[in-house]
Structure 1
Amino acid sequence: MQIVILSDTHMPRMAKKLPRQLITGLERADLILHAGDWQTIEVLEELQQYAPVIGVIGNVDGPELKERLGKKEWIVRNGITIGITHGDGKGGTTEKRALTAFQTDSVDIIVFGHSHIPLLKQVNGITLFNPGSPTDKRRQPQFSYGILQLTETSFELKHVFFEDKS
């Protein structure tokens, strides 16, 4: 199973359309996870044309998205429990807020966004993953999204980096 992981698409403010590099990944996706800051419901609807989408709201998402999505989600696929949150809020770093969101849940992976900074690391046996942004790299050298490859017994997470968001 191949899962595309996104966050901070900020469309249409930061891009009028999904980047070609991202579309290449979406065309192979069995599932799409989005960690918030879509900006509009149209982004969700467009992503659903490629694969089922599970996501959460971020701090810039409007009422239509808030009616359909929560601030926290978790799913189990192939025995791997994945928590999804945006990571915004007060106090601590984005990473710490993501960990706090699932402190009472047993998760293998926490997917979060907000900072636009790609991250893949282990903390107390939990894999933290921030895909970065495919449309708003801020101070990062490249745009990015993530791929989670699940087998029956394991998982592999990686970033896909690219230069041009057109």
Structure 2
Amino acid sequence: MEAVLIGDSHVPSREPHIPDEFVDKIRTADHVIHTGDFDSKGALADAQDLASELTAVHGNIDPQMGLPSVATVELGGVEFVVTHGTGSRRGWEDRVATVVRDHARTETAVGVAGHTHEVTDTEHEGVRILNPGSVTGANPANKATMMTVVVDDGLRDVTVQTRV
């Protein structure tokens, strides 16, 4: 199973749309996880239309769209705990790891968060944390990025995709 991790779209306030080279990957993924900051109900609707299956949370600038602040989803034997990571850059890893520990049903859950617009694949206090950056390259990111993850009875591969 292949999942695509995206976040921090900021459409339309900072960028007009998700780059075309990412759209095909999002369409063909088995599951898409979005870490919030869609920026508009239209951007959320676009993500829902593109993704065959979507797990999403709200970000700190999202309007009321009925999205949770934390979501969990099991894909290919891996539990993902998704949150935006709202707050200052300082302490981001602590905040995300705490959310994962508070919401996970397994000790091996993987955290997926955004907010910083920085690609991250790290382990913090025993919790693996993935941040796909900004799918549109919205400021303060300097390029558009997303992650693909292959899950099959565990997390097999994490790859960063960058707009060409």
Amino acid at match of 1:158: T
State the alpha-carbon separation in 1 of the partners of residues 142 and 38 from structure 2.
21
What runs of 5+ residues in structure 1 fail to find an aligned partner? none
Amino acid at match of 2:86: D
Q: Who is 1:69 aligned against?
A: 67
Q: Who is 1:38 aligned against?
A: 38
SS in 2 for 1:46: helix
Change (3 A) 1:89 1:48: same
SS in 1 for 2:15: coil
Q: Who is 2:95 aligned against?
A: 97
Amino acid at match of 1:151: D
Change (3 A) 1:127 1:37: same
State the alpha-carbon separation in 1 of the partners of residues 81 and 37 from structure 2.
17
TM-score relative to the length of structure 1? 0.86
Cα drift, residue 59 of structure 1: 0.4
Q: Is 1:2–2:2 an aligned residue pair? A: yes
Q: Who is 2:84 aligned against?
A: 86
Structure 1 contact 5–145 (Cα < 8 Å) conserved:
yes
Cα drift, residue 92 of structure 1: 4.4
Q: Who is 2:137 aligned against?
A: 136
Q: Who is 2:111 aligned against?
A: 110
Cα drift, residue 140 of structure 1: 4.3
State the alpha-carbon separation in 1 of the partners of residues 86 and 36 from structure 2.
10
**Pairing 1:122-133 to 2, within 5 Å after superposition:** 122-133=123-134
RMSD over aligned Cα atoms? 1.9
Aligned residues, how many?
Answer: 160
Q: Who is 1:155 aligned against?
A: 156
Q: What do residues 57-95 of structure 1 show as CA deviations (whole Å, max 9, x unaligned)?
A: 1100002x1xx2110011112221100000013694222
